[in-house]
Amino acid sequence: MKILVATEKPFAAAAVNGIKEIAQAGGHEVVLLEKYTSPVQLLKAVADADALVVRSDKVTREVVDAAKNLKIVVRAGAGYDNICLDACTERGIVVMNTPGQNSNAVAELAIAMMIFMSRNCFTPGTGSEVKGKKVGIQAFGNVGRLVAAKARALGMEVMAFDPFVEGSVMEDEGVTPAASLEEMYSSCDFISLHIPATPQTKESIGYDLLTRMPAGGCLVNTARKEVINEAELEKALTDRPDLKYVTDIAAVHQAELDEKFGKRVFATPKKMGAETAEANINAGLAAARQIVEYFATGCTRFQVNAK
């Protein structure tokens, strides 16, 4: 079978080598499409692919239609909002992610962002320490739990809100469960977002929640830009000159935010949460193994679309 690895943001070389080894050992061929600059290149490359590995690359209905032989798509990472699940399901194409494989890298970045914002974006002037501060984790999944553990190790107090996780699970990890988002935002110096972008979460973080934060509150977004209501974020930052926003996914109007709010906002130039060799290797190799196993045994563990 032909496995296309299409990564606009390429994997580390060690990950690519590992993917090739796993695929070849299973009797498959790997074709690479890296750093492509136009969706047309993906449409062309996918035409004869049996399997597709992507990162945040957009697998639109058009891509699925162009991929006449496609049987499986694996998103080497957690969020699969970049894939048209309906188009895949209609064709009987299996879609999987590789949950947990790049979580540590993202969690480390979230912690780094808290420290960066506490230290004036590494510019001169008196900053503050994260020790003794309180962080609220919005969604206690793979990344959220790691952020909680690292924050506790730094001497931070940790609260979490997740309607899908029992409070006792949080308490077992030294984390205080919040009864509501409102309660969590009202009492935390930092809020770290770890929710996926879904119809339910899109634009769900806005003025009401943000302005509940205590003086100097900072929102840390290593999740998705779509979960933020940008107009309301701007209004909150305007009305509350003490609030801060740091993100790994630049806002649509990031340049305006930068201009208006200076060091109170910061966005990485390109999403870098999962940009570590370790995360690339973990997620890339997991994707390759899942594809080889699917072709060998039909195993659909980690399938995320309807069967």
Q: How far apart are CA 163 and CA 13, in angstroms?
A: 39
**Considering the complex, what minimum distance in angstroms separates the CB of residue 275 from ligand 3PG?**
6
Rank residues 57 and 189 by Cβ distance to ligand 3PG and give the closer one.
57
Q: Which one-letter DSSP state was computed for residue 214?
A: P
Residue 141 near ligand 3PG by CB under 6 A: no
**Considering the complex, what minimum distance in angstroms separates the CB of residue 165 from ligand 3PG?**
19
Q: Which one-letter DSSP state was computed for residue 223?
A: S
Q: Which one-letter DSSP state was computed for residue 121?
A: G
**Considering the complex, what minimum distance in angstroms separates the CB of residue 131 from ligand 3PG?**
28
- Within 94-133, the residues that bind ligand 3PG by CB under 6 A are 102
CB of 245 closer than 8 Å to CB of 257: yes
Residue 33 near ligand 3PG by CB under 6 A: no
DSSP codes joined into one string, 78-107: S--TTB-HHHHHHHT-EEEE-TTTTHHHHH
Quick count: other Cβ atoms within 10 Å of Cβ 171?
12
- 3-class secondary-structure state, position 193: strand
Closest residue to ligand 3PG, based on beta-carbon distance: 77
**Considering the complex, what minimum distance in angstroms separates the CB of residue 57 from ligand 3PG?**
8
Element (H, E) at 2: strand 2-7
Quick count: other Cβ atoms within 10 Å of Cβ 13?
10
Q: What is the CA radius of gyration of the chain?
A: 20
Residue 192 near ligand 3PG by CB under 6 A: no
Residue 28 near ligand 3PG by CB under 6 A: no
Residue 15 near ligand 3PG by CB under 6 A: no
Residue 16 near ligand 3PG by CB under 6 A: no
**Considering the complex, what minimum distance in angstroms separates the CB of residue 186 from ligand 3PG?**
28
Rank residues 6 and 67 by Cβ distance to ligand 3PG and give the closer one.
6
**Considering the complex, what minimum distance in angstroms separates the CB of residue 41 from ligand 3PG?**
17
Site string for ligand 3PG, 61-80 (x = CB under 6 A): ----------------xxx-
Tokens of 275: 């940009």
Rank residues 118 and 192 by Cβ distance to ligand 3PG and give the closer one.
192
DSSP codes joined into one string, 260-300: HHGGGEEE-SS--TT-SHHHHHHHHHHHHHHHHHHHHH---
Residue 144 near ligand 3PG by CB under 6 A: no
Residue 18 near ligand 3PG by CB under 6 A: no
**Considering the complex, what minimum distance in angstroms separates the CB of residue 31 from ligand 3PG?**
19
Rank residues 79 and 217 by Cβ distance to ligand 3PG and give the closer one.
79
Burial, 75: exposed, middle or buried (Cβ in 10 Å; 0-12, 13-18, 19+)?
Answer: buried
Residue 194 near ligand 3PG by CB under 6 A: no
Q: Which one-letter DSSP state was computed for residue 227?
A: G
Residues 6+ apart with CB under 8 A from 200: none
CB of 150 closer than 8 Å to CB of 174: no
Among 273, 285, 291, 305, binds ligand 3PG (CB under 6 A): 273
**Considering the complex, what minimum distance in angstroms separates the CB of residue 88 from ligand 3PG?**
17
Residues near ligand 3PG (CB under 6 A) are 9, 55-56, 77-79, 102, 271, 273-274
